[in-house]
Structure 1
Amino acid sequence: MGADGLLVMHGGGPTAVINASLYGAVTEALANPSVGRVLGAIGGVGGITEGNLLDFAGVLASRLEMLPSSPSSAIGSSRKPLGPDDNVEIARALERQGIRWLLCTGGNGTQDTCGKIWRACREQGVEVDVVGIPKTMDNDIAVTDHAPGFASAARFMAASVSAMCADVHGLPAHVSIVETLGRNAGWVAAASSLADESGVCGPDLIYLPERDFDERAFLDDAQRLVDEKHSGVIVVSEGLHKAGGEPVATPLLRTERATYFGDVSAHLARLVISELGCRARSEKPGLLGRCSIAWQSSVDRDEAVACGREAVRAALAGDSGTMVGIERIASDPYEARLVRIPIERVMLEERCVPPEYINERGNGVTEAYRTWLRPLLGGPLPRFASFC
């Protein structure tokens, strides 16, 4: 078997635009005569070692055209932990299957795997060019301005919180605490700050894991809301922790790298009820914030497609051991370009919300963050009417 195949693999949690990147990569590769076969690894890295590969030549064009607007991962994904021997096994499997180019789509964990597979191929003398495609709703991949998947999650959060704020504003009877995904980075929680662009109101307080969480300060903030408004909307990130790193809510499960966070919003709602003696509710959109096609950002979708295409171009040019990144040129009007970043600068490096994007009290974000985020949402949020 000649080494003429280009293989796309997905890793980690899907997003609202991971299939858009797949679409960009597959259509770019199918149009290039130097690529003999365009393949997808079914179920992530396991698809490589088990030889469970989809040949896109047999997929109808009409089905491919559905990818940019399809949620989840059309070829599956995985969180399978890998050791040094696994990376060697993957390199050998790629060689056996005639793969010449490998594209790894995922977050910083998958980009770490991407880099290790690239190294294993070089060490084993396997001629495979490896390129990473960024993907994460958490937006915690290093170096790139932002990652495909984040803007759609941000749009979902801003829109959903705007509706919730309108609800609480219309019936000011309780404190509502909304918990977002995001692991150790608060990008998604911070995105709720744009909810006020609905024309009604936005969240009253936002707490990010980049600042140590002070329970007493939180209760004082919540008491002020109750005293002044009789209600309020508070957005918190799942990764909130106290000084010293202790999680606000006990994690449900820890693995080698992943943490299944405890129910932070429910914990804080109970705290408000017990300590302040007022009504409180917890809301946890969870995976809905990651997979929602209804709130997909057009900017996010277009950039995801472009990243997939650029990854193919980088691979075919022999620019191996790189990840496609997004470099912002301007915010108003928005302008960005794609760059190729050495994968070793990205591997398992977490990019958190910088201090200048968090307000002094640590219970909200600055206008600088809002300016940075606004052009990524793909157009204005719906406007609401209110007369009270």
Structure 2
Amino acid sequence: MKKRNCIIGQSGGPTIAINASLAGIIHKAKYSEEYQNVYGMINGIKGLLEGRYMNLLEEFNTGEKINALKQTPAMYLGSCRFKLPTHEENTDTYVKLFEILTKLEITDFYYIGGNDSMDTVMKLDSYAKSIGCTIKFIGIPKTIDNDLMGTDHTPGFGSAAKYVASSILEVVHDSLIYQLQSVTIIEIMGRNAGWLTAAAALARNEYN
């Protein structure tokens, strides 16, 4: 049976969760012995369009290196902020991408990220089906905003929620040392969702 080849990309904002997801795919691909090659896009889909990728099985050739990746901050493969147009809007982009995927004999395409990354996966899958391509396109969610449809919670949200609650509590501790009436406004990110803002309530305790 012919072995498969996969390619993995990361995009969006950096978190330790995104490298843990990458490590998980590499581990599964390496020890399942189903894959001949595991490629990594350098700087996401934008880097792939420029022909920049690496062989991850050569780089992570031991279990120790894969485990170290789980604890590595930021994004090992780099990132991009690239809004992929639809194939109706720009067919040339898709033709170029699929030429690269065909050249590498890719059977599985993994993309780790948030909303725009999942949108990229959906568009690539749609184009593949329209041309009868059998590559499997898989989106792996990662977003601190916790706003991806169909998910209960996304990797990255839990640690961000804890950070927000801890920060709010520290601000309150600082304010309570003064006999001063004040209003403090704290801006918390979260795209169009309020999950991180809601997490600020975790700072409540018996005296606050």
How does the TM-score come out when normalised to structure 2? 0.88
Q: What's 2:48 paired with? A: 48
Note the C-alpha offset of 1:122: 2.1
**Residue 180 (1) aligns with residue 182 (2):** no
Distance in 1 between residues matched to 2:28 and 2:124, nearest whole Å: 23
**Residue 132 (1) aligns with residue 134 (2):** no
**Residue 156 (1) aligns with residue 158 (2):** no
Note the C-alpha offset of 1:172: 4.4
Q: In terms of Rg, which structure is larger?
A: 1
Note the C-alpha offset of 1:12: 1.6
Distance in 1 between residues matched to 2:179 and 2:187, nearest whole Å: 20
CA-atom RMSD in angstroms: 1.9
- 1:65 partner amino acid: N
Distance in 1 between residues matched to 2:191 and 2:124, nearest whole Å: 25
Distance in 2 between residues matched to 1:63 and 1:93, nearest whole Å: 28
Indicate the SS of the match to 2:155. Answer: coil
| 8 Å Cα contact 2:26/2:57 also seen in 1 | no
Q: What's 1:376 paired with? A: none
Q: 1:120 aligned to 127, 136, 144, which one? A: 127
Note the C-alpha offset of 1:187: 0.8
| 8 Å Cα contact 1:90/1:117 also seen in 2 | no
Distance in 2 between residues matched to 1:130 and 1:38, nearest whole Å: 15
| 8 Å Cα contact 1:16/1:152 also seen in 2 | no
Indicate the SS of the match to 1:91. Answer: helix
**Residue 93 (1) aligns with residue 100 (2):** yes
- 1:189 partner amino acid: T
| 8 Å Cα contact 1:87/1:116 also seen in 2 | no
Distance in 1 between residues matched to 2:179 and 2:96, nearest whole Å: 59
Pairing of 1:241-256 with structure 2 (within 5 A): none
Cα deviation per residue 1:223-279 (whole Å; 9 max; x = unaligned)? Answer: xxxxxxxxxxxxxxxxxxxxxxxxxxxxxxxxxxxxxxxxxxxxxxxxxxxxxxxxx
Pairing of 1:1-388 with structure 2 (within 5 A): 4-60=4-60, 61=62, 62-83=64-85, 84=87, 85=91, 86-173=93-180, 174-197=182-205, 200-201=207-208
Note the C-alpha offset of 1:23: 0.9
The 1:25–1:5 alpha-carbon spacing in structure 2 relative to 1, beyond 3 Å, is same
Note the C-alpha offset of 1:39: 1.6
Identity %: 34
| 8 Å Cα contact 2:37/2:57 also seen in 1 | yes
- 1:164 partner amino acid: V
Q: Show structure 1 runs of 4+ deviating over 4 A.
A: none
How does the TM-score come out when normalised to structure 1? 0.49
- 1:135 partner amino acid: K
| 8 Å Cα contact 1:181/1:188 also seen in 2 | yes
Distance in 1 between residues matched to 2:155 and 2:15, nearest whole Å: 8
- 2:20 partner amino acid: A
Indicate the SS of the match to 1:102. Answer: strand
The 1:104–1:163 alpha-carbon spacing in structure 2 relative to 1, beyond 3 Å, is same
Structure 2: which 5+ runs fail to align?
A: none
Indicate the SS of the match to 1:104. Answer: strand
- 2:35 partner amino acid: V
**Relative to total residues, which structure has the larger strand share, 1 or 2?**
1
Note the C-alpha offset of 1:200: 4.7
Distance in 1 between residues matched to 2:29 and 2:204, nearest whole Å: 42
| 8 Å Cα contact 2:8/2:111 also seen in 1 | yes
| 8 Å Cα contact 1:139/1:150 also seen in 2 | yes
The 1:9–1:172 alpha-carbon spacing in structure 2 relative to 1, beyond 3 Å, is farther
